[in-house]
Amino acid sequence: MEAAFRKSGSRYTLSFERRLAHSPEKVWRVLTERELLKQWFPCDVVGEWETGAELQFVFLNGEGDGLSDDELRGEVLSVEPPRLLEFRWGKNFIRCELIAEENGCKFLFSDTFDDPSTGARSAAGWEMCLENMDVLLEGGAVAKFAWDVWQEKFDHYVEKFTAKFGAQQGAPENQ
């Protein structure tokens, strides 16, 4: 799995495309059922998956320390089960699209944001989250976050993104 990073108007978008050996309905549950979502997503998401609903992003181990209330809030922008889920997390826009295929589905994930210097950091983090989503879909136990694994992925994306998007920020200070 490799993140693509591109300029989108005045913003920047990281995207991942995956083929999953699971039905869109099964993947949809992992995207929207709170107890499943918080096993692979960076934090717990409190709120209803209904267009216009407010969301609260709750970090359980202090990872969100130092983030403003605005950075910990969001809104559901679009819900079309089991095909499309779009929401705002702070200033970021997250899009999850599922396209049914013969033996499962194609999963398109994107994160759109303002600051290109956070591309490598975000790509490494989302890649780890999506790998954990795969484990969960396969019925396995999701691994705890491992800084050495993140660092290896981050270093890869720094090398890949720096020439086009400039210097990349490292881990957030509260980590």
Residue range 27-37, pLDDT digits in tens: 999 999 999 99
Residue 9 has pLDDT above 60, yes or no: yes
Same domain, 107 and 90: yes
> Among residues 114, 131, 152, which one ends one of the domains?
114
Neighbour-count burial of 10, counting CB atoms closer than 10 A to its CB (0-12 exposed, 13-18 middle, 19+ buried): exposed
Residue 13 has pLDDT above 80, yes or no: yes
Provide the domain limits for residue 163: 115-168
Same domain, 93 and 129: no
Kindly indicate the confidence band of residue 133, based on its pLDDT and cuts at 50, 70 and 90. Answer: very high
Count of H helices and E strands in the chain?
4, 8
Specify the number of domains making up the chain: 2
Same domain, 33 and 84: yes
pLDDT at 145: 74
| Confidence (pTM) | 0.92
* % of the chain at pLDDT higher than 70: 97
98: CATH = 3.30.530.20
Same domain, 106 and 152: no
Computed over every residue of the chain, the mean pLDDT equals 92
Same domain, 47 and 93: yes
